[in-house]
Amino acid sequence: MSIVVTRATAALGRLVIEELLTRTAPAGIVGLARDRSMGADLEARGVEVRTVDHGRPDTLEGVFAAGDRVLLISGHEPGQRVNQHRTMIDAAREAGVALLAYTSVLGGPTATFSLAEEHLATEQALLASGLPYCLLRNGWYHENYTGTLATTLKDGAVYGCAGTGRVATAARRDYAEAAAVVLTGSGHENSVHELSGDTAWSMAEYAAEVSRQTGRRIPYRDLPQKEYVARMIEAGVPALGARMAAEADAGIARGELAATPGDLSRLIGRPTVPIAEAIAEALARLEG
């Protein structure tokens, strides 16, 4: 029996494997990646890395085995995710895995923005498969915002179309730790965890915290949705990605990513990382 992590060389996958290595022997961990060479550092630590293409069933032959516990990390290609996820679910079902955990979206069917549609379709496919499942409904990451701090500081403002809506973000490492807890623990079969940060904040509050930590006046500029999309496209964001980001902001304005049920902090046994700490860490990296 192995613990299998898809997208093992991407940001979340790597953090999950780091957490797993603190809980179990590396020989029992398998990472799946499109390019095995990207996981050379993981292999050097004893993790097995296998090359797969999530959308090609022929590359999944023999990847899973009966009794495996699998973390299906959602894909990064809009419009292709559902087919890729179904391919992975089918392969896991045929192998008879013991548990398939999927990184979905906070709120599941209550989230109405377009990005959530592919998550909901994947949830439905997983439930229909008959596999023992665990839905890890992740909220937004701090890194969705702190990852663009350099641009924020250059522009002198935080831009968005979330209005006064609040978003309960958590650090990527918080979500990774929760996944590792599920994969190495017991009693998570056929369960749903609504995962989010302990505290929700507004974009104006985020801008105020950036201002406080930098000593600069960084306001939040709330734009009409179409104008925000145009601004992102002008900055080099692909049109589809820009539209989906703006639609998610509109979801935040409707309160769809503000829930703080506490599932995440209960799973990891500690408070989630505050947004202020994430901002400080991001600023330190920029200064370094």
pLDDT tens digit sequence for 236-285: 999 998 999 999 999 999 999 999 999 999 999 999 999 999 999 999 99
Quick check: 78 pLDDT over 80?
A: no
Annotated domain spans of the chain: 3-138+172-195
**213, amino acid identity:** Q
Tell me how far apart the alpha carbons of residues 150 and 34 are, in angstroms, rounded to a whole number: 30
> Per residue in 172-198, is it b (16+ CB within 10 Å) or e — as a string?
bbbbbbbbbbbbbeeebeeeebbbbbb
The structure tokens 């309960």 sit at: 168
Spatial contact of 195 and 273, defined as CB atoms under 8 Å apart: no
The pLDDT-based confidence of 75 (bands split at 50, 70, 90) is: confident
pLDDT reported for residue 59: 86
Q: Which has the closest alpha carbon to 102: 135, 54, 141, 139?
A: 135
- Which range, of 94-98, 230-234, 237-241, averages the lowest pLDDT? 237-241
What percent of the chain has a predicted confidence (pLDDT) above 70? 100
What DSSP state is assigned to residue 48? E
3-138+172-195 CATH fold? Rossmann fold (3.40.50)
Mean pLDDT of 8-25: 97
Contact 157, 243 (CB under 8 A): no
**pLDDT band with cut points at 50, 70 and 90 for residue 56:** confident
